[in-house]
Amino acid sequence: MIIKMGFFKDLTFAAVCLSLTVAASPLQEPTTGGIDYNDYIIRGVNLGGWFVLEPWITPSIFEPYANGGGVIDEYTLSASLGKSATQTLLNQHWGSWITEDDFAQIAAAGLNTVRIPIGYWALAPQDGDPYVQGQLPYLATALGWARNHGLKVLLDLHGAPGSQNGFDNSGRLGPIQWQAGNTVQTTLTAIHNLVDWAVSNNFMDVVTSIELLNEPGGFSPNINMDVTKQFYYDGYGYIHDKTPNTVTVIHDAFKDIDGYWNGFMNSATGVGNVMLDTHIYQVFTPGELSRTPCEHVANACSNKGKLAGTDKWAIVGEWTGAQTDCAKWLNGLGTGARYDGTFTGTGGSYYIGDCVGKDVGTVAAMKQVDKTNLQYFVEAQLDAYEAHTGWIFWCWKTESAPEWNFKDLLVNKLIPQPITSRKFAPQCDGAACMVPS
């Protein structure tokens, strides 16, 4: 299916008329035989740092370059080591970072979904790239584990050629060059290859959704949103043709989920099985970091109405228990934290508090006050983010970043069990802040 933007312009009047009732009764996607997300809450975790490396998730891989050497992401690591050494290193990592026991624990925690990031280079490698391949056999094994334990999978294209956002989690830290040259077509080829691979290997009972691209940088003048939208149409068309019950997930590109995205690719425009993904963090500006625990909770709760007001299925596909950016290398290999005033990147920082127990270590070793604040914050987010289609925590495990480690938070009873239970009274119903001062 090839869908052009003009097709949707013909339906503008109908979409506008229907949008008048969005606040009272948001439009929902029609189902076509897959999961009916009108009556299903996604509760999941991201398997971050597995097929797309991030220095802060697995710092041990990047530790040799902590004091320089030009390695800052998977691209430069691969370029520095060369293909043979990179292949050896990553085969070991892919085979050990996530095991079937992780899937068993995820299911036992009452979760129903895992989001698995993967880079374009695993699917449509380009001449001259230093990246190595070999991820797909491990991904196939993972999908088998998901099936064994009753979990559904969202496959997420996390990195695009040229980098869609300039972040190290795109594979390459630096300038945003996605949409230059043939990068968009290459990204579509990666999506096509991913879909074809999953369909031909009979994984579509497990793969219930595919995300076309993680976090395209709509904040950048280098990203033309009309091009991004057409990419979404084209990717959706291919998925719909090949596997119509599979949900196409589109990221909000850091645009407002209601004001910008309502009216786009919803049921009023004749498009079904589309889900909007938004990521909610409160740790990447000094203003966010200076919030009190009560203000963090209030901000989380403020998203409840916006999520409920979207006119298509909507998930918070990434969020965290962290209220600081203290995690070692969260802001990039070798960089500090805004929270303790050691960050030297764009935007600056100033001292708000210390990072003791939050930069590295275990949840058990965190200060009790930090554990308490985190527990209230997590429960408020669970309540807010279930206002529409659900949530996926970032991430299941880390080597040493305790505020981000769902697995360790779960062991230390900071994640409610059962997952639908709550230790505290509802925090998003307008009551006064409950977090102890």
Q: Is 74 a catalytic residue?
A: no
- The residue among 291, 160, 273 whose CA lies nearest residue 222 is 160
| Choice among 74, 318, 379, 386 that is catalytic | 318
At position 375, the amino acid (one-letter code) is Q
At residue 350, the 3 state secondary structure works out as coil
Q: Is 399 a catalytic residue?
A: no
Q: Is beta strand 113-119 parallel, antiparallel or unpaired with respect to 42-46?
A: parallel
At CB < 8 A and 24+ separation, what contacts does 372-375 make?
372/435, 372/436, 373/293, 373/296, 373/323, 373/435, 374/321, 374/322, 374/323, 374/403, 374/409, 374/414, 375/414, 375/423, 375/424
CA distance 159 to 117: 8
Report which DSSP code applies to 225.
Answer: H
CA distances from 1 to 5, 239, 241, 362 (A): 13, 8, 6, 49
User: Token pair for residue 386?
Assistant: 């279930």
CA distance 93 to 61: 9
| Choice among 54, 74, 211, 215 that is catalytic | 215
CA distance 2 to 302: 38
DSSP per residue over 386-435, as a string? TTTTEEEES-S--SS-GGG-HHHHHHTT-S-SSTT--SS--SSSSPPP-S
CA distance 387 to 15: 23
CA distance 267 to 247: 13
Active-site residue list:
215, 318
